[in-house]
Structure 1
Amino acid sequence: MAYILFDDELIRNQLKPFTFTRPVADIRCGILTIRDKWIKRLQTRVTCLSKRYLEEITTESSINTYINGAVCPNDVLINEINNLTVGECLVDTNSNVLAIRTNEKLSFPINFQPFKKKSFSGTLSIITQLPHIFLKNGEQIKEDFKLITEGRTSQEISDPFTRVYGAENIFVEEGASIKSVILNAEQGPIYIGKNATIQEGSIVIGPVSVDEGSVVVWGSKIRPNTTLGPYSKAGGEVGSSVIFGYSNKAHDGFLGASVIGEWCNLGANCNNSNLKNDYSEVKLYNYATDKLEKTGELFCGLFMGDYTKAGISTMFNTGTVVGVCSNIFGAGFQDKHIPSFMWGGADTEYVDYRFDKALEVIKATMARRDKQLTDKDIAILKHLHDFKK
């Protein structure tokens, strides 16, 4: 049996800018990415089917199970998927196709019409809109925490100056450093990954995930439902937000109800609004419709694509979407939508960010972590630059 996580074209467009540079299944929500959740539960290799410029070599067999890459797995869903027969597809109450069983090789975008529909009415967590990434983050931290820690023993917190509440809901991996902090896991788990660091004077209130190699900077306030991806930094006040890997918000400032991609940097005193002064519903730029759309949410902050940077004291308005590889700076609130590969700010003028210059900055940033762009990474960025939006 081969398992392939497919991108639904509509969902993929609605989850930009994060799906500009990755399949839907590689979005992080909770402790793990969606792909990693499936790998851990299925205990087998899982590949992704997406747009051609993101394509990877998919694992295929005489019988293939294609699973919607926006769906977070649970035991009931997996059981229903495994009971599908060849030619059937599983559909939820909102007509989202969840899975397909076939002996054919499918291509993106998948044509769902030939398959016999089978209804799924169980509990489901599916990421179809940008706010879902932070809105569902708390519940996914709890699910991933159980998945990762079951049957394992946490490292001890030996520092005498650290105060712990709800110790049974805290799991510390090998090599983590925790000194003079407050950890409150009474309302949700706190996961502290391998070689992660929580520095002096920080307050962490679960559910929270601080992934491998990440740093919570001294004096930080980490509110519930927050994920700090691998090798990232968080300082100041962060709440109900997901920061993907290798990104930094290392200084004071507020980040709330937000999602930050990989290799991003928020300069000192960057802030975002996540609530309008009139308490009205937040509108958000939608790549699928190319206009601002109602979100149905009162709280909604900043959504920043990979490789984008913001200068010191940059202010982002409620419900701001920034594309891939832009450099944003200057006084005043920035535009609600900033396309990819832009340079400038609201008080100056946004101009095109030269591809060679952007690449130079990315390479310098990654070199600081002993990482480098692959040929595939460069090809993806060149594609996005040539067809930027």
Structure 2
Amino acid sequence: MHNLALEDVSCTHDLLPLTATRSVLDIRMGILTFREKWEQLLGPNNTLLIDDDSAPALPANILPTRALAARIRGELARGPLTHGSIDRIITHGRLIRYPWHIFQHNAEALLEDFDLLTAGRHSLPIPASVRVTAPEAIFIDEGARLEHCVLNASTGPIYIGRNAEIMDGALIRGPFAAGEGAIVKMGAKIYGATTLGPHSIAGGEIKNVVFFGCSNKGHDGYLGDSVIGEWCNLGAGTSVSNLKNNAGEIRVWHPSSGDWRNAGLKCGLLMGDYSRAAINTSFGTGTVVGVSCNIFGPGMPPKYVPDFSWGTDGSVLYEWDKALRDIASWKKLKNQSLSEGQILTLKHIFDSL
């Protein structure tokens, strides 16, 4: 069988700030990243990322599914992909073009990944102290810990990943996934379709949010219809508006074009990697926060906070040495450190400002 060629040149800019620090294939949606989905569907050696958008290749931002993989296998069985076969595949797939598409279609991805990951496997038993609805749609992986919480999978499946923890009093309505080592705090209220990426922490009220991984919203406050990158932290009491007071169309800043895009009737916070907000920060509808921002101080942040911003209004630049030091400190809390490659990526972003 021929390799599946994927290209992310044409879609990277539309998915900023999330793709400033990662390939499109490393976006998390549902339970897995796009790369992990393709590995599950086609095998780890059957995909190839190319940087030439003129060659016959699928766009990397097409959502991998079992049905799409079956169609691709059929096309590849006849030979390398052509522009015609690419067009036929795309018509049967879903393109995730803008960051808000990630939460808008996360329910679909959660259901797909749940079936993919649990096929032929057996869940750990649900502890007697846990109140459940639709237990057949709940999967608990090895090492997960949960007691005295409520899991309602009647509206979608619930996946509790390896070594994840659901604390006492948490209320979870599916579809929902907690990745490896993720923690849901006591008394949290979580609605679907929410993804808590690996080693993330969730507390307060959360609805239809994707956390890529290693990010924290550990305290009270509301977060809905949002995408939070990696190594982000929302301080206690931070809340996000996801609906305009007039219930009108939400306009979101599109960094690569320097213009606004319609994102539908609900859109909260789109936050790039390594960004943080101080306690009691209030974000307006459709706010975009770039990479490595430290948001604090009086007033509401603007609708667009550029990369490496310091303070509330986005007008002061975060000093490079301080930004790097602070990221390293946050990583140390989870026993990780910045790699040379990550530092080079961040320096490239900083030098481009």
Q: TM-score normalised to the size of structure 2?
A: 0.94
Counterpart residue identity of residue 21, structure 2: T
Quote the Cα distance in structure 1 between the aligned partners of 2:232 and 2:63.
Answer: 25
Preserved contact between residue 252 and residue 270 of structure 1 (Cα < 8 Å): yes
Matches within 5 A, 1:359-370: 359-370=324-335
Counterpart in 2 of 1:280?
Answer: 248
Matching residue's letter, 2:99: L
Structure 2 equivalent of residue 327 of structure 1: 294
Q: Is the 8 A contact 2:201 2:215 kept in 1?
A: yes
Pairing 1:79–2:70 present: yes
Deviations 1:61-103 (A, max 9, x none): xxx9843211122334223333253461257xxxxxxx4xxxx
Gaps of 5+ in 2: none
Q: Name the aligned partner's letter for residue 306 of structure 2.
A: P
Aligned to 1:111: none
| Residue 49 of structure 1: how far off its partner (Å) | 3.7
Report if the CA contact (8 A) 1:30-1:139 is conserved.
Answer: yes
- In the TM superposition, 1:304-319 aligns within 5 A as 304-319=271-286
User: Counterparts of 2:211 and 2:69 in 1: how far apart (Å)?
Assistant: 28
Q: Give SS of 2:132's match.
A: strand
| Preserved contact between residue 290 and residue 307 of structure 2 (Cα < 8 Å) | yes
Residues 23 and 50, structure 1, Cα contact 8 Å, conserved in 2: no
The amino acid across from 1:333 in the alignment is M
Aligned position for 2:265: 298
Structure with higher helix content: 2
Matched, 1:204 2:172: yes
| Equivalent residue, structure 2, for 1:372 | 337
Deviation at 1:170, TM superposition (A): 0.2
Match of 1:137 in 2: 106
Tell me what 1:88 maps to. Answer: 82
Q: CA deviation at 1:178?
A: 0.6
Taking the aligned partners of 1:33 and 1:90, their CA distance within structure 2 comes to: 27
Asked if the contact 2:210/2:226 (under 8 Å) is kept, the reply is yes
Q: 2:124: which partner in 1? A: 155
- Would the aligned equivalents of 1:311 and 1:328 in 2 still touch at CA under 8 Å? yes
Is the partner of 2:28 in helix, strand or coil? coil
Pairing of 1:1-389 with structure 2 (within 5 A) = 1-9=2-10, 11-45=11-45, 46-49=47-50, 66-82=57-73, 83-84=75-76, 85-86=79-80, 88-90=82-84, 99=86, 118-120=87-89, 123-158=92-127, 160-295=128-263, 297-346=264-313, 350-388=315-353
Which residue of the partner structure matches residue 105 of structure 1? none
What is the DSSP-based 3-state SS (H/G/I as helix, E as strand, rest coil) of the residue aligned with 2:159? strand
Q: Distance between the aligned counterparts of 1:44 and 1:264, measured in 2?
A: 29
Q: Secondary structure at the match of 2:260?
A: strand
Is the Cα contact below 8 Å between 2:7 and 2:49 reproduced in 1? yes
Secondary structure at the counterpart of residue 310 of structure 2: strand
| SS state at 1:277 partner | coil
Q: What does the per-residue CA deviation read over 1:101-121, in whole Å, with 9 as the maximum and x for residues that have no partner?
A: xxxxxxxxxxxxxxxxx5347
Contact 1:261 1:305 in 2 (8 A): yes
Flag the 1:87–1:169 CA change in 2: closer, same or farther, 3 A.
closer
Measured in 1, the distance between the counterparts of 2:13 and 2:90 equals: 25
- C-alpha offsets along residues 269-325 of structure 1, whole Å, 9 cap, x if unaligned? 000000000011000001232122222x10000000000010000011000000000
Instruction: Give me the identity figure in percent.
Output: 42
Distance 1:184 1:256 in 2: 19
Whole-angstrom CA distance in 2 between matches of 1:350 and 1:287? 16
| Distance (Å, rounded) in 2 between the aligned partners of 1:50 and 1:374 | 23
SS at structure 1 position matched to 2:32: coil
Q: Distance in 2 between matches of 1:76 and 1:216?
A: 32
| RMSD of equivalent CA atoms | 1.8
CA distance in 1 between partners of 2:20 and 2:328 (Å):
19
Q: Structure 1 stretches of 5 or more lacking a match?
A: 52-63, 92-98, 100-117
Take 1:306 and 1:120, find their aligned partners in 2: how far apart are those partners?
Answer: 32
- CA distance in 1: counterparts of 2:44 and 2:56, whole angstroms: 13
CA contact (8 A) 2:202 2:216 kept: yes
Question: Do the aligned partners of 1:3 and 1:65 also contact (CA within 8 Å) in 2?
Answer: no
CA 1:376–1:224: 2 relative to 1, 3 Å:
same
Q: Aligned partners of 1:313, 1:387: CA distance in 2, in Å? A: 31
Give aligned pairs, total: 346
**Which residue identity does 2:12 align to in structure 1?**
R
